[in-house]
A and B are shown apart, each in its own frame.
Chain A
Amino acid sequence: MIGTLATGALSIPTPPITSSFYSIASVSVASGGISSITFNSIPTDYKHLQLRLFIKAAATTNGTPTIVYNGDTSSVYTYHELQGNGASASAYSPGANYGGQWYVLGGQSADQYAAYITDILDYASTSKNKTIRTLMGFDNNGSGRVYLASQTYQNASTAITSLTLTMQSGNASEFSHAALYGIKD
């Protein structure tokens, strides 16, 4: 019958045990905020990583934090984005050999946190550069942006064993949250 709750059985599954998707570590930002978040000693026995970020810059203007891998701040990164800003779609890249990835945050309102889902496939490869794919966005009820973005960490010979998110201006706000997951084969 149209207009009521869904017809058909709404089933509540018996919780199964996952076998390929694991939580590695998480950080919840406490009062006072934090200028950087680091995941160290990432085990190499997963095949892929997924980073899920819920984060707000304490600064009142949009911030552009960076993420670097293995503490490597040299110009070995690339960055590309496909963006919608509510008015038009666009694409951008700063070009070759950039230093660090750009994540764009919304910091103009007290309670708006941005969301990011980052997938790093074959992060532990010692023969491939690391290509990172991120779906991200923030909305401020009249402003905001949504992106598909990517980065390369151009270090084929080394597995990713750490990643560091650093706020370019001020701190990540209290209640920001970063969670790192591993996907096994």
Chain B
Amino acid sequence: MTTTYELINKVILTGSQASITFNSIPSTYTDLQILSSGRTDKNSTQNNPLISFNGSTSNFSYKFMTGNGASASSSSGSSNPINDVNASTSTTNTFTNYQIYIPNYTNSNYKSFSIDSAQERNDTTAYLELWAMLWSYNAAITSITLNSDANWVSGSSFYLYGIKNN
């Protein structure tokens, strides 16, 4: 029985962990979606985790737009950071709500994907972000790693869904 929108795997942390990885991603879906509620223990109010595909941290580039509660701006780069997430000195018990959407993750072209992110704090300053990202590599994506650049804390959750177009 085929399904359109289904969970492939999940990671829900009960302790700290530097990174999480979804391995052996089946090629039977069309798109991938990660829904994550994440927080790190980096000594800051927020930090940028790092994404890798198939164990590679290379060939990533991005353009993003952010609002910090007071002003909007945009930036770009050629590396693999992703959205700002809550870190250790941000509001207690508050985790960043973000979605990573990767269409056509198995095709033999470069991979264009998006991130929509809400990092909240009990403060005027918090970061809303829209990201466009590119992995300039032709291989199908078979694994995804989100490296916290510190440790993901207990309670951080990561759900990988597959969406199928037929």
Contacts and interface: CB of A to CB of B under 8 A. Distances in A.
Interface of A: 11, 13-14, 16-21, 47-48, 78, 80-83, 89-97, 119-122, 125, 127-129, 131-133, 135, 148-152, 154, 156, 183-185
B46 to A, nearest CB: 13
Contacts of B99: 119, 133
A104 B47 CA distance: 30
B152 interface: no
A176 B144 CA distance: 40
Contacts of A149: 118, 128
B117 A92 contact: no
Interface in B50-107: 65-72, 91-99
Interface of B: 1-7, 10, 35-37, 65-72, 91-99, 116-126, 128-130, 155, 157, 159, 161, 164-166
A151 B35 CA distance: 17
Nearest to B98: A133
B165 A131 contact: no
A183 B69 contact: no
Contacts of A121: 35-37, 97, 157
A80 B67 contact: yes
Contact of B117 (A18, A48, A122, A133): A133
A128 B37 contact: yes
Given A16-B4, A82-B67, A128-B155, A119 B35 contact: yes
B96 A131 contact: yes
Contacts of B125: 93
A185 B159 contact: yes
Contacts of A129: 91, 93-95, 120
Residue from A90, A95, A120, A150 having most chain B Cβ neighbours under 10 A: A150
